[in-house]
Structure 1
Amino acid sequence: MSDPSAPSCTAFEGPRRLASGALAEVALAVKAAADGGSLQPLLVFDDASGHVIDFDLRGTEADVIARLPALAAQLAPPPAQPRQTEEETAAGPRGKGRPKLGVIAREVTLLPRHWDWLAVQQGGASATLRRLVEQARRAGGVSQQRRMARETAYRFISAMAGNLAGFEEATRALFADDRPRMEAHMATWPQDIRNHTLRLAWGDHVPPTEA
């Protein structure tokens, strides 16, 4: 069973999509095309970022596969580190005992009506404020995903469609989140390039545009 968190990529042989999926699958497809004497440029893109990936195709298929873990480590995002509070940083290493939850006490200035409202909320003022902050963070996360999707699609079309008719207009439509207008400007592009661009910008993994 494949790891859903593993890097995914897509290879193009000229304007044609050659392969898409896990690094190993795509790497072997690219090696086969290169060894077969393909005359078209072979470009591989990280599906998460739109950056070009360089496979080391030297040696046998086993040699190529053996080098992929190092490449996957470069593509993977850095692991999240637990945040240390200001008090813990100043106090140095903690001894044994119940760990702190990372809660920091700071002054909050509100109008009387705000305090009145917080006072009657379930869990009290602190719990309510934390809940409101988390809701705002989640809403902001959708906007960030949309921005990242646009940037990923832009990196791809910059490499694959920079010289095609309608590129500048399609780019403006992409950053305006105007899919119909972008599709209209991409109408003459090779089908595989159009389809991959739309998948990066508006695929199932990308949240819908906010109203």
Structure 2
Amino acid sequence: MSIPSDLPVVAFVGARRIARDRLDRALPAIHAAAAAGEGPLVFDRVDGRVVDLDLRGDVAAARARLGPALVEARRGPGRPKLGVTPREVTLLPRHWDWLAAQPGGASVALRKLVEAQMKAAEGPDRARRSKEAAYRFMTAMAGDLPNYEEATRMLFAGDWTAFDAAVEAWPEGVRDVAREMAAGAWRNGMS
């Protein structure tokens, strides 16, 4: 699986942060640390997972093995390409009757219902993803640090104040990244 060159990453050697940028821009520092035998650990800043890089050869060779940047398709004039995928849906007759009576028919009504549910779940989904990302990162980088268990409990309890206090004594880079990854877990920002 290729890793996008614009993946937002953070890299550490021990508890020292050596890079925080897009992967293609962070690669020289990561490559230099690996070449010096320092064993850098690289994390995806969005989901907290460790990124496994092929750092053989020089920086140019390592960069060449990265995948293309994830670029949003530009929208031009005309109807957008929705990428519709046909699938079978099983409903009761009364459900089909209701859908058929909706403006635009069953497909439009189903798309609107799904979009509404996705929007309604956006906050809780963001919070869950942030907690999972912070937990992955903290487990890898802070599992042996003081107050790790307390910070983890407070992360999942949703107590930002206690979480912040628990991570305060951690090395600066680890503390800052843990706070950054956890930021989406708190209701209305930092409550």
Give 1:208 deviation, angstroms: 5.2
2:57 maps to which residue?
Answer: 59
Structure 1 or 2, whichever has the larger Rg, is 1
After superposition, where does 1:8-19 map in structure 2 within 5 Å? 8-19=8-19
Which residue, out of 109, 133, 153, partners 1:152? 133
Kindly indicate whether residue 26 of structure 2 is the aligned counterpart of residue 26 of structure 1.
Answer: yes
Q: Is the 8 A contact 1:8 1:22 kept in 2?
A: yes
Which residue, out of 115, 119, 134, partners 1:138? 119
Q: Is the 8 A contact 1:17 1:193 kept in 2?
A: yes
> What is the identity, as a one-letter code, of the residue corresponding to 1:12?
F
CA distance in 1, matches of 2:160, 2:18: 25
Q: Is the 8 A contact 1:27 1:55 kept in 2?
A: no
Q: Is the 8 A contact 1:58 1:64 kept in 2?
A: yes
CA distance in 2, matches of 1:181, 1:208: 12
- In structure 2, runs of 5+ residues without a counterpart are 71-81
> What is the identity, as a one-letter code, of the residue corresponding to 2:94?
E
Spell out structure 1 runs of 4+ moving beyond 6 A. Answer: 126-130
1:80-103 Cα offsets, whole Å, 9 max, x none, are 96331427xxxxxxxxxxxxxxxx
CA distance in 2, matches of 1:132, 1:81: 18
1:107 maps to which residue?
Answer: 94
SS, match of residue 56 in structure 1: coil
1:38-82 Cα offsets, whole Å, 9 max, x none, are 4xx410001121111122111111111111118x79xxxxxx963
TM-score normalised over the length of structure 1: 0.67
CA distance in 2, matches of 1:130, 1:31: 46
* Cα distance change of structure 1 residues 184 and 134 upon mapping to structure 2, 3 Å threshold: same
2:187 maps to which residue?
Answer: 209
Q: Is the 8 A contact 2:9 2:45 kept in 1?
A: yes
2:7 maps to which residue?
Answer: 7
% identical equivalent positions: 38
* Cα distance change of structure 1 residues 194 and 128 upon mapping to structure 2, 3 Å threshold: same
- In structure 1, runs of 5+ residues without a counterpart are 74-79, 88-103, 109-114, 116-122
Q: Is the 8 A contact 2:6 2:24 kept in 1?
A: no
CA distance in 1, matches of 2:171, 2:20: 17
Q: Is the 8 A contact 2:6 2:22 kept in 1?
A: yes
Which residue, out of 165, 168, 180, partners 1:187? 168
CA distance in 1, matches of 2:87, 2:170: 52
Give 1:128 deviation, angstroms: 8.5
Q: Is the 8 A contact 1:186 1:194 kept in 2?
A: yes
Kindly indicate whether residue 161 of structure 2 is the aligned counterpart of residue 161 of structure 1.
Answer: no
> What is the identity, as a one-letter code, of the residue corresponding to 1:60?
D
